[in-house]
Amino acid sequence: MNIPKLIVPLIFILLLSGCASQFKPGMGSYGDAASTFYALDSGDFVEANPVFAWIDNPAGIALAITGAKWGAKHFLHDGLGVDAYSSDTIIETSGVAVTGWNVALILGASNPVGAVAAIGGGWLYYTYRKNNIGHKRYEHLTGEAE
C-alpha cells in the first residue's frame, strides 16, 4: 500500500468531516473508502461500480465514495424528506455492508461468502445503531431535532 497516495484523500475527508453539519462521514463511509483503497491499491482488484470505475486512482475513488455517501445523505434528507437519523443510518449501514464485502474478497473469499459478510455486517451495524444510538441519541449528538 502506498501511504502517501492516501494522505490527500484523507485530508479532504477530514475537511469534509469538519465542514459537515449533521452528516459527517461515519463507520460505513470510512470502512468502504479504506477497504476500497486497499483493494484497488493492491492491483488485484478493479472498481466494479461504473460510477467510480473511470477514476484512475485508488485514492481518488476512495475520496469520491466518501463524497457520494455524504451527498446521498443530503439527498435522502433534503430531497426526499427522510429524517436525519434514518438518512445517516441507511447510508452508513450500506457502507458497512460494502466494507464486509470488500474485506471478505480481499481475504480471498468467494462471492457468496462476500455476500454473507455484507449482509451480516450491515445487519449487525444496523442493530447496533438501533439499540445504542436511536433517534433521540442521534439528535443529541448532532444537535439536530426532527
* One pLDDT digit (tens) per residue for the chain, 146 residues: 555 555 656 665 555 555 555 567 788 998 999 999 999 999 999 998 899 999 989 988 998 998 899 889 889 988 999 988 888 899 999 999 999 999 999 999 999 999 999 999 999 999 988 887 766 666 665 665 55
Q: Is 25 helix (H, G, I), strand (E, B) or coil?
A: coil
pLDDT of residue 6: 58
Domain extent at residue 100: 3-142
pLDDT of residue 11: 60
Q: Chain-centre distance of CA 100, in angstroms?
A: 11
pLDDT of residue 63: 87
pLDDT of residue 133: 75
How far apart CA 104 and CA 16 sit, in angstroms, is 28
pLDDT of residue 120: 95
Q: How far is the CA of 107 from the CAs of 43, 48, 66, 74, 78, in angstroms?
A: 14, 17, 23, 33, 38
Domain count, the chain: 1
How far apart CA 34 and CA 40 sit, in angstroms, is 10
pTM of the predicted protein model? 0.79
